[in-house]
Each structure stands twice: as structure tokens, then as C-alpha cells.
Amino acid sequence: MWHKKEISTVEIRSFGRGANVFFNILVALFAISCLLPLIFIIVISLSSEHSLVTNGYQFWPSQWSTAGYEYLSKMSGQLMNALGVTVLVTVLGTAINATFTSTYAYSISRSSFKYRRFFTIFCLITMLFTPGMVANYIVMTNLLQLKDTIWALILPMAVSPFNIIVMRTFFKRQVNESIIEAARIDGASEMRIFIQIVLPLAVPGIATISLFAALGYWNDWFNALLYIQNTHLVPLQYLLMQIQSNIEMLSQNATQGAQYASGLANIPKEATQMAMVVISVAPIALSYPFFQKYFVRGLTIGGVKE
């Protein structure tokens, strides 16, 4: 005879008011400490070069200036073109990455898929062993003929093994097999099940891996260094790196001639460097709050049962 097990309830005791105040202050201080570097960078980007050379880095400089942004505005055409390339690569690459990752992860998460073990091991192997830069370059340039194309910035990061493992865990915990079986009994195809049943349940997980992919595409400059020579296809991060390299070149060669010295004198070196950081970080930092709730849910799924 079966006996029902009694489930003991654990009384959750709340902290006292003093403890709550202490932990709130502690969390607030931690949040402020995370924001301070970004605020410091913005302040430096708005400081005059003379103030930085004389007094060093300060939270409240003696003289404010927008010279760094004005210097970058002289290359506004290149910057806007590079920003457009980066936005296109980020949006298109994120969509492709999320599509490939979610479909792959869903397949290996289902017990009814015959080859799930093989493809799971295959995914894990790619996380441990990589072919190397030379092999990747040969495949992209000689085999696929993608040099100086927008796809050279997208396809190398189109699939992420780490994101596949994250989504596999998400699907196994969130998508019950009985729901899939009920849909199959009703005559739904696998594609219809995935689109109409699985995807609505997987929004937090997809938002999480999409954020990972978007950050990777937005910050990528190495693929442009390898595969892009056309100036119209240069992404923002690579262009900013080129500007930084040019400034450092002028600085290192300032003592070799009046041409370099006069060129360096007209460049707000430190402020320009920090202005480039602000320009590259601001779009992602402003868009992150819109995905934060999905990001938290996607990472903590399965940790607490409702």
C-alpha cells in the first residue's frame, strides 16, 4: 500500500530591519563600485588635455573640454559607416547565432532524438579543441572565399558551443516531454511544435544567449583584422583600434621630426582614448536594461522551483 509522504514546510524567517538596512547599503556600495569606472572614463573623456597632463586623472578636473569628441567628429563619416557595419553584423549575427544555437540545443535536449549523445559529445569536443587561427584563415579565405565580405565577420561566431549547452539545460528543465508528446498526438509537426510551443517557453533562455552573442559581435575586431581590407566594411571596434594605433604612432615618433610633434600637439590623446571607450560601450550599456529581466531568468532557471 502506498503512503503519501508528508512534506515538511520550512519556516522562512525574515531578517530584522537593521540587517535589511545593512545588506541594502552593502549592495548599493557594490553597485556604485561597479559604476565608478564607467563614470571615471566619461569624466576623463570630458577633461582637457592640459588638465590631464598637469593634474593627472581626477573625478572633478580643473578644466572641462570636449576636444576628444571634437577630434573624433572630424572622422564622423568613417565612424558612422563603421557603426552601421557593426550594427548590421551584430543584429544579423545575433539572429543567426540564436537560430542555430536554439535548434541545435533543442534537438540534443529531446530524449526521442536518436543521435543526441553523438551531437552532444561533438559540441563538447569543440569547446575543448580548436583548429587554430591558420586553419580558420585558410577555410574562410581559400575554401569559402569570404575575404572582404560581411559574412567573414558573422560566420566565425555563428555557433557557440557554450550557448548550446546553456540552451540544452534550459530546454530540459523548462520544456516538459509530455507537452511535446501531446502536440504530436494532435498531429503537430516537429517544426510547428518548436515554433508555436517551445519558442514561447524559451524566451528567457534565447534572450540570454542573444545577449552573449550580441556582446561578442559588438566587441569583435579580430576577425576584421584577419579578413577585412575594404575600408567600407571595417566595424567600429576595429576602426577605433586603428585610431588608437595612429595616435600611439604619433606619440612614439614625436621626437623624430616637427611633423610628428605638430600633429601630436593638436590631438587630445588621453581624452580621445576615453571618448573612444565611451562610444564603443554606450550602445550596449543603454540596451542592456531592456534585456536584464530575461537575462536573469535565463541564468537562474532551475535554481528555484516555483
Which pLDDT band, with edges at 50, 70 and 90, does 97 fall under?
A: very high
What's the rounded Cα separation, in Å, for the pair 235 and 80?
A: 10
pLDDT tens digits, 164-199: 988 888 888 877 778 888 888 888 888 888 888 888
Helix axes 76-109, 203-219, angle to 10 degrees: 140
Residue scoring higher pLDDT (52 or 115): 115
List the chain domain ranges.
68-300
pTM metric for this prediction: 0.76
Q: What residues have CB less than 8 Å from 233, skipping those under 6 apart?
A: 85, 148, 149, 150, 153, 224
Is the pLDDT score of 303 beyond 50? no
Amino acid symbol at 100: F
Is the pLDDT score of 6 beyond 70? no
Secondary structure letter of residue 25 according to DSSP: H
Q: Which has the minimum average pLDDT: 148-162, 229-243, 261-275?
A: 261-275
Set of cell numbers at residue 177: 516531454
pLDDT tens digits, 132-142: 888 888 888 88
Is the pLDDT score of 259 beyond 60? no
CB-based burial label for 169 (10 Å; 0-12, 13-18, 19+): middle
What's the rounded Cα separation, in Å, for the pair 58 and 255?
A: 28
CB-based burial label for 118 (10 Å; 0-12, 13-18, 19+): exposed
pLDDT tens digits, 39-74: 888 888 888 877 777 777 777 877 888 887 887 888
Set of cell numbers at residue 17: 530591519
Mean pLDDT confidence for 196-205: 83
Residue 124: what pLDDT? 87
Instruction: Give the architecture-level CATH label for domain 68-300.
Output: Orthogonal Bundle (1.10)
